[in-house]
Amino acid sequence: MTTWDYTLLAATYSLRPPYAERAVERIVETCGVSRPRVADIGAGTGHLTLDLLRHGCSVDAVEPNDAMRSIGQERTSGRAAVRWYRGTAERSGLPTGAHDLVTFGSSFNTTDTGPALAEAARMLTGRGWMACVWNHRRLDDPLQASIEALIRSRVPEYSYGSRRADQSPAIEASGLFSPATKIEESFHHEMPTADWTAAWRSHATLQRQAGPLFDSVVADIEALVRERVGDTVRVPYVTVGWLAPRRRTD
Ligand SMILES: C[S@@+](CC[C@H](N)C(=O)[O-])C[C@H]1O[C@@H](n2cnc3c(N)ncnc32)[C@H](O)[C@@H]1O
């Protein structure tokens, strides 16, 4: 299994929360065109792809992992405005200058960012934009703080790595995009507790760092959550992202 192989996580990935409606709206509106043509990179099981389709975009969804892509294809089947491709951020296989927007939904951190930004700039029209977004659980919430403490007691070196880092230096360093605007939109996601605990099984960052302890850490999280909440859990999230226009060459 390679560092970012999502095969074992695919089955529970769709249980993860959607991105904040307002964050997706801002990204789509910023493009300034009525039906943006979007390349959604690392599209996975189609979370951001579905949001983009709902906002009137036509989407080329690029995903290297077969298990993730086939769930994404199934979730978007029957939608004429989406096409799926096997490819990567660094080598998408998509044409040059044909997209108004290139998006990375929780996938920018899985890429080699320099080559991924060069590929994004190549795919964009002269007035195109790139956006990368993640959903972060609010760790100041009491339940989330307890889960965090539990994880750190079992995996002391646990770190979110570049998932929670400021992406603007990498975007600026590419020299291909103008300075990025940060997006932050909070929301609550309410769902059956069983689904939310099952979604922990698709937590790639925890899986990579917990290694052989992953199953038992997730089982402890499940036990803790069962003890604290009823059948439904309300989880506070913030969608955090960066949005940058391609640097004009004319
Ligand atoms: C955390 S998932 C995000 C999926 C989806 N975009 C979403 O918003 O839920 C990250 C995805 O990036 C994919 N990925 C890993 N390495 C990649 C790369 N080099 N280029 C593009 N995608 C990659 C993984 O297979 C996985 O499906």
Where are the domains positioned within the chain?
Answer: 7-138+161-190+236-245
Name the closest-CA residue to atom 9, ligand 1.
47
Burial class (CB within 10 angstroms; exposed 0-12, middle 13-18, buried 19+) of 230: exposed
Answer whether 89 contacts ligand 1 (Cβ < 6 A). yes
Name the closest-CA residue to atom 10, ligand 1.
107
**β-bridge mates for residue 39, sequence order:** 60, 102
- What whole-number distance in Å separates Cα of residue 29 and Cα of residue 20? 14
The alpha carbons of the chain give a radius of gyration, in whole angstroms, of 18
CA angle 208, 169, 65 (to 5 degrees): 35
- CATH superfamily for domain 7-138+161-190+236-245: Vaccinia Virus protein VP39 (3.40.50.150)
At residue 105, the 3 state secondary structure works out as strand
Name the closest-CA residue to atom 22, ligand 1.
42
- What is the per-residue pLDDT for 3? 57
CA angle 88, 83, 6 (to 5 degrees): 40
Which atom of ligand 1 is nearest the CA belonging to 65? 25
Question: 131, 100 in Cβ contact below 8 A?
Answer: no
For residue 141, the 8-state DSSP code is S
For residue 91, the 8-state DSSP code is -
Answer whether 88 contacts ligand 1 (Cβ < 6 A). yes
Question: 183, 243 in Cβ contact below 8 A?
Answer: yes
Answer whether 52 contacts ligand 1 (Cβ < 6 A). no
Name the closest-CA residue to atom 8, ligand 1.
105
Cα of 149 vs centre of ligand 1, distance in Å, is 27
Name the closest-CA residue to atom 16, ligand 1.
110
Cα of 45 vs centre of ligand 1, distance in Å, is 9
- What is the per-residue pLDDT for 4? 63
Answer whether 43 contacts ligand 1 (Cβ < 6 A). yes
Cα of 119 vs centre of ligand 1, distance in Å, is 15
Cα of 8 vs centre of ligand 1, distance in Å, is 13
Answer whether 68 contacts ligand 1 (Cβ < 6 A). yes
- What is the per-residue pLDDT for 1? 36
Which atom of ligand 1 is nearest the CA belonging to 69? 27
- What is the per-residue pLDDT for 227? 93
Cα of 235 vs centre of ligand 1, distance in Å, is 23
**Which two structure tokens, joined as six digits, stand for 203?**
């937590």
Alpha helices (H) along the chain: 10-13, 21-30, 47-54, 66-75, 113-123, 142-154, 168-173, 193-199, 204-210, 214-228
Per-residue pLDDT of the chain (250 residues; tens, 9 = 90+): 345 677 766 667 677 889 999 999 999 999 999 999 999 999 999 999 999 999 999 999 999 999 999 999 999 999 999 999 999 999 999 999 999 999 999 999 999 999 999 999 999 999 999 999 999 999 999 999 999 999 999 999 998 878 889 999 999 999 999 999 999 999 999 989 988 888 888 888 899 899 999 999 999 999 999 999 999 999 999 999 999 999 986 6
CA nearest 215: which of 12, 3, 5?
Answer: 12
Cα of 231 vs centre of ligand 1, distance in Å, is 30
Answer whether 111 contacts ligand 1 (Cβ < 6 A). yes
